[in-house]
Structure 1
Amino acid sequence: MKYVYPATFTPEPEGGYCIQFPDLPGCVTCGDSVPHAIEMGRDALSMWLCDAENNKEQIPPASSLFDIRTDHGFVNLIDADTAEYRRINDHRAVKKTLSIPSWLNVQAEKAGVNFSAILQEGLKEHLGIKAKSN
């Protein structure tokens, strides 16, 4: 699901920004610079929304950017894509049952093949998913 919410960016005395989402209680984070604050805001927003979706909670509608005021700092829109966030951050293992020919199983076990690793590599290749570089 894709969302866009207004966030307030308040300068911190020691530098950086405090980011708050007025529509989402407790959704607060901080960043060292504007680009970092936007990145951290997107992460906090995505995490808050994923948690609400997981718990089947009502997600408040986003206020208009023009309805949010701040005495210090500025207001900016932040977007979140919870499907993308889950894809990037959900590394839980899921058990799958599959079938292969007996002779292939014997050969693979003799060779010490890690079935899970091979399946993951093959699926990534088949789906055109490239490994994320750090």
Structure 2
Amino acid sequence: MASFYGVIHKTEDSDYGLSFPDLPGCITAGSSLEELEVMAKEALTLHLEGMAEDCETIPEPSNYKTIARKHEHDFDFFGITLITIATVQKRTRVNISLAEQDLILIDTAATKLGIDRSAFLVMAGKKIALEKSITHY
């Protein structure tokens, strides 16, 4: 099991956003807190898998008080949540064909979210599955 605290940000006209202070670049968003939790688990899983594949050292999680002190005064601070995932799973490489303009759109969106193409496609697929109540694999 791996657990990291995520900082939730929200403004009046935005979705809920979540970042992991101990894992720069590991961010996600959701239109509800329930969706945010699903997306946060997926983002954390993909980020840690990528770090493992790249032989990067996974940092020790900071404690709640340290994160709270650093972020509780952010203008869009909403709260802090502990996200726990199962052991990092092995990724499987797949080959897909996309229209060039779709690939550009996917890569642009992924870059703006600070994630890679694979993470973006998985998050998008899971969001649709969640919206359609498809929960069994």
Give the structure-1-normalised TM-score. 0.60
Q: CA RMSD in A?
A: 2.3
Give me the whole-angstrom Cα distance separating, in 1, the residues matched to 2:93 and 2:58.
25
Higher RCO, 1 or 2 (CA under 8 Å, sep at least 6)? 2
Give me the whole-angstrom Cα distance separating, in 1, the residues matched to 2:5 and 2:54.
23
Percent of pairs identical after alignment? 25
Q: Which residue of 2 aligns with 1:81?
A: 86
Give me the whole-angstrom Cα distance separating, in 2, the residues matched to 1:34 and 1:4.
18
Structure 1: where are the runs of 5+ without partners? 93-131
Tell me the amino acid that sits aligned with residue 80 of structure 2.
Answer: V
Give me the whole-angstrom Cα distance separating, in 2, the residues matched to 1:11 and 1:56.
34
Distance 1:4 1:133, change over 3 A: closer
Q: What is the Cα deviation at residue 133 of structure 1?
A: 4.2
Give the structure-2-normalised TM-score. 0.59
Whose Rg is larger? 1
Alignment of 1:1-134 (within 5 A): 2-69=1-68, 70-71=72-73, 72-83=77-88, 85-86=89-90, 90=92, 133=136
Give me the whole-angstrom Cα distance separating, in 1, the residues matched to 2:61 and 2:11.
25
Give me the whole-angstrom Cα distance separating, in 2, the residues matched to 1:78 and 1:133.
21
